[in-house]
Each structure stands twice: as structure tokens, then as C-alpha cells.
Amino acid sequence: MQTQVVKITNIKGQKHMLEEAGAIIRRGGLVAFPTETVYGLGANGLDGPACKGIYAAKGRPSDNPLILHVASRHMIGAIAAEVTPLAEKLLAAFCPGPITLIMKRKPSVPDEITGGLPTVGIRMPESDVARAFIKAAGVPVAAPSANISGRPSPTTAEAVLHDLEGRVPLILDGGPCHFGVESTIVDSTGSQAVILRPGAITEEMLAEVAGEVLIDPALVGADAIPKAPGMKYKHYAPQAPLVLIEGEPEKIAPAMQGEIRRLQAEGHRVGVIASREVLDSLGPMVPPELRADYGGQGDLPAIAANLYEALRYFDDTGADRLLAEGTTSEGLGLAIMNRLRKASGFHSIQA
């Protein structure tokens, strides 16, 4: 299969291209598309066999459910059996936006996408290209991230092409994603909001709208079984093993230098993913081609936006060990540290 990449720069002017993408979805095919979080790999969310194609293209385990993407409140009515008062509040405050709400599902939602759960994840993207595409499809679009399962999620069309060339007929290119980490997943089936996956809508933002917010215990301790089935899988992993260096910002640079020296003495080619400040402190220890600058120290929006490209960067550098600088776990830092912990297989050094 040939993969076509089409830049979308003008939604009105390129209406016919979006119509064509929508027609592929209605015919049961796959289209990769940009959102404000990461790129998605979409199929008709009401067509079970079409959704199976997503699992095949990504190599995704079949018990890991897909999120249904909608362009309007009206589309939610077609898939949710109940919109709780809590869900109403969250919809009003955050949708469209980088949040996925878990709701009870209608029988119209195929079993193929829910992994057998009685619920479904629903998201209304803020990205204009994403919503124009979903509108053109005319159906809820089931979509996980558009990467090979286990790899860092794609935040550019080039990263999608790298993973899925020959497996998908069309990639809509909307440029780099604004947030760069996947949506916050919130269980809204009860009266209290529960975060199942941290993202750009933070605990603090949710608490302002919904009162006290719970966090799925599996996100903080490694032992509990996560309520979002996908959270139990290995994820976001670069090709070389990665170790996370965490602690007070001023302690990171010395700890990083010590670990680099130790690994280099063992003969390893060490790549470093870190803030500009920490990278500057390394001097000639680490050559430019083994550095990925993820933003200024503490600049969480920039770090989130650059993180997956930084993880992917090292795949072609011959680095056989990677070190990454941790951030705070407050605010957007909770989402960043969740991805870094998983990328490292929970392997970290306290600075």
C-alpha cells in the first residue's frame, strides 16, 4: 500500500481533501490525522471490522480499548448511554480540548473497540483539522496514537510516516502537535472525577470545576492494576534503554555527569535528553549529536511538546544508553513524569 501525506494548511480551501479522507473512513479504511495532543490513527468508530484494522496496523493488544473522537455534542448522544452531571460539567469546562471522558456506552459501540468494557472513552479534539476531518467522516472516529505499539507517540506527520508507511493510505499533516502528550483520561461515570491517565488538563484544573479529584492508584504506585487497560503496557520506549534522573533541579546536573562518566567508562555511547541548562553543564563530555534539548529547565509546556521527538531522535544515533532529566510531578509535570517513567521501564536514579 502506498502512503500519501497531505499537508492541510487551509481547511476551507482543502475541503475536498478532507471529504476524501472522510470517505476513506466511511468505506472502512484508516486515516492518520493531527490533533492538539498527538497524531491519531482513525477508523469508523461504529464499524467493528474497520477498527480491527487499527489494531493490526499498530500491533496493538486487542484488550486495549480505543478512544472515540467526536466533532459535536450531538455525536456523543449516539455513543454514550448516560452523560452524568459530572460529565456535563467537564464537557462544559474542557471540551473541545485535550481530555477524554469515560462514559457508559450504548450498544451501538462495537465490542472490538472497548476491550469488553461497559464504558467508552470520548474525546472532542480542539484541533480544527481534527474536527473538520471528523465532521467530514460524519461518524465518531476511533483513534489511538498513530505509532507502532510501544513506541513513543508521534507528534509530527514525519513520525507517523516513519512508523506506519505502507500500513495506512493517508496521513493528514497538520504540523507539530501543540501539547505533545496524550489527553488526560477522566472517569466521569460516578460523582467524583478519577484521573486514569495524566495529561494537559491537570488535576488542579479539574479540581476547580469538579471539586476533589481522585487519581487512579496505579499511576502513583507500580503495583495496582490500572483502570485504563492501556496503562499497563510498556510504552513510549526508545530503542536504547533509558534511565531517568530525578530530584531537585540543581542536583540533576552533577548526578547526570557522574552517570555519564560511569557509562562511558564501560564503553557505552550515551545520549542525553535534558533541559538546555543541564546540557550546557556537560561541556565536551557529550557531543552535539548525542544531545536532545527538550526545553528550558522547568518549562513544562515546552518539555511536553518536545518529549516524544526527543525520545525518537536517538533511534538513528547509535546511542546504546540514554539518560533523561526528570521534572516536577506537579501540574503538567505529572503527565511528563508518567511518560518518562514508562519510557524508562520505571528505572530511575534519585539525584
Residues that bind ligand AMP (CB under 6 A): 64-65, 67, 102, 114, 117, 119-121, 144-145, 182, 185, 196-197, 227-231
113 class by beta-carbon count within 10 Å (0-12 exposed, 13-18 middle, 19+ buried) = buried
Q: Which is nearer to ligand AMP, 47 or 293 (CB)?
A: 47
Give the CB-nearest residue to ligand AMP.
230
271 alpha carbon, distance to own chain's centre: 23
Q: Which residues pair with 120 in a beta bridge?
A: 103
Distance CA(65)–CA(143), nearest Å, equals: 10
Report in angstroms how near the CB of residue 110 gets to ligand AMP at its nearest: 13
Report in angstroms how near the CB of residue 102 gets to ligand AMP at its nearest: 5
Distance CA(203)–CA(299), nearest Å, equals: 18
Inter-residue contact 294 to 227 (CB < 8 Å): no
Residue indicated by cell numbers 549529536 = 289
What is the bridge-based pairing of β-strands 291-293 and 270-274? Answer: parallel
Q: Which is nearer to ligand AMP, 145 or 202 (CB)?
A: 145
Report in angstroms how near the CB of residue 320 gets to ligand AMP at its nearest: 28
Count other Cβ atoms within 10 Å, centred on residue 33. Answer: 31
What is the bridge-based pairing of β-strands 291-293 and 40-44? Answer: unpaired
Site for Mg ion in 115-144 (CB under 5 A): 144
Per partner kind, with CB cut-offs from 5 to 8 A, the member of ligand AMP, Mg ion, none near residue 97 is: none
Count the residues of the shown chain that bind Mg ion, applying the rule CB under 5 A: 2
Report in angstroms how near the CB of residue 95 gets to ligand AMP at its nearest: 16
Query: Cell triple for residue 84?
Result: 452524568
Per partner kind, with CB cut-offs from 5 to 8 A, the member of Mg ion, ligand AMP, none near residue 65 is: ligand AMP
Report in angstroms how near the CB of residue 97 gets to ligand AMP at its nearest: 15
Q: Which is nearer to ligand AMP, 294 or 308 (CB)?
A: 308
User: Which residues lie near Mg ion (CB under 5 A)?
Assistant: 144-145
